[in-house]
Amino acid sequence: MAHAPAGSSSAPAVWIGTSWKMNKTLAQARAWAEGLRDHLGGRAPDGVQPFVIPSFTATTTVAEVLGPDSPVLLGVQNAHWEDAGAWTGEVSVPQAKDAGAQLVEIGHSERREHFGETVETTRLKVAAALRHGLTPLLCIGESLEVKERGGSAAFILEQAAGALEGLDDSALSRVLIAYEPIWAIGERGRPAEVDELLEPFAALGEACTGKVAGLLYGGSVNLENAAGLLGIEHVSGLFVGRTAWQLEGYLQLLNIAEAHLAA
Ligand code: 13P
């Protein structure tokens, strides 16, 4: 999988990605990936950069199904900052790369909440991904409590600044950021209204647009709200859970992205 992520080229891409979280057997992963591969026929819609982030167990299966020249980037949902060693239960960036990954998701709120991920560990992991030539996908997002006291923008800027501290311009240009407000994620979340996202994206845009590879939105993205979310200034992609776990949903999101670019 030697091709460069579309976001690093001059043409701005719309990123449409999914994390499967802790879901799918190998057979289910294979079926989804085969369906996507056959649907795309070796070519993503113009300007659209698809990516998929399975569980670790399915990384090689999905890599093999998609094949070496796939237009779909493959990621892992986490990776340790050390290259190897006595870290039972962890997977390193070189191991993820060896399994076929090109992208490393870092700092998802579920990892921050349940697995002790901190700003410091996200910084170490971003550096590890970059050191090995993988694209870090840094997730940031505030809780409902922070949102309700009006602190969303400051909170996410601090998370991003902490994780990206010390990177030079060239390293920064390889980083993807996904803004995923915790209150909007998963079964316990509610879809965000576009109006609620304008201020956080204005702040992120001011800090990051033109400097990073892309600014994505995630959290209860569905087929009804995807077009509106893509229309928000500074949003250059969507990072999707449930709606994309069925291949049909993911394919429809690709169509929505294509229509958005054509509009
Ligand atoms: P949902 O789209 O299921 O809310 O999940 C979003 C997410 O956490 C992607 O990382």
Residues 6+ apart with CB under 8 A from 104: 75, 76, 78, 79, 93, 96, 125, 128, 129, 134, 135, 136, 137
Quick: pLDDT tens for 222-243.
999 999 999 999 999 999 999 9
255 pLDDT more than 90? yes
How much distance in Å is there from the Cα of 211 to the middle of ligand 1?
25
Tokens in use for 183? 């209150």
Distance 262 CA to ligand 1 centre (A): 26
pLDDT of residue 4: 41
Q: How confident is the model at residue 10 (pLDDT cuts 50, 70, 90)?
A: very low
Q: Which position among 105, 110, 117, 180 bears the catalytic label?
A: 180
Question: 108 an active-site residue?
Answer: yes
Place of tokens 């997002």: 141
Residue 7 has pLDDT above 80, yes or no: no
Residue 6's pLDDT band (boundaries 50, 70, 90)?
very low
Residue 27 pLDDT exceeds 90:
yes
Task: Tell me if residue 24 falls in helix, strand or coil.
Answer: coil
CA distance 149 to 179: 18
Note if 180 is an active site residue. yes
Q: Is residue 9 part of a domain?
A: no
- Predicted confidence band at 5 (pLDDT cuts at 50, 70, 90)? very low
Res 41: pLDDT = 96
Strand partners, 218: 239
Encode pLDDT of 195-225 as tens digits: 999 999 999 999 998 999 999 999 999 999 9
CA of 86 to the centre of ligand 1 (A): 31
Read off the pLDDT of each residue in 234-257 and give the average, rounded to a whole number. 98
Domain count, the chain: 1
50 in any annotated domain: yes
- CATH number for the domain including 67? 3.20.20.70
Mean pLDDT for 156-180 is 98
Structure tokens at 92: 């390193």
CA dist 202 → 70, 108, 153, 169, 231 (Å):
33, 21, 9, 21, 13
CA distance 65 to 59: 10
pLDDT in tens, 64-88: 999 999 999 999 999 999 999 999 9
**Does 2 reside within a domain?**
no
Query: Is position 3 within any domain?
Result: no
Ligand 1 mutation pick, 180, 225, 246, max ligand atoms within 8 A of CB? 180
Q: What's the domain range around 133?
A: 14-262
Residue 235 included in any domain:
yes
CA 132 to ligand 1 centroid distance, Å: 27
Question: Is residue 6, in this structure, part of any structural domain at all?
Answer: no
pLDDT at position 122 = 98
For residue 250, being part of any structural domain is answered with yes
Mean pLDDT, range 155-174, rounded to an integer: 98
Question: Which pLDDT value is given to residue 12?
Answer: 54
Q: Give, for ligand 1, the residue of 20, 21, 53, 103 to mutate: max count of ligand atoms closer than 8 Å to Cβ.
A: 21
Given a contact cutoff of 8 angstroms between Cβ atoms, the answer to whether 198 and 179 are in contact is no
pTM of the model: 0.95
Minimum-distance ligand 1 atom for the alpha carbon of 242:
3
Radius of gyration of the chain (CA): 17
**Does residue 5 lie in a domain region?**
no
Q: In the structure, which protein residues have their CB atom closer than 6 angstroms to any atom of ligand 1?
A: 19, 108, 180, 185-186, 189, 218-221, 239-243
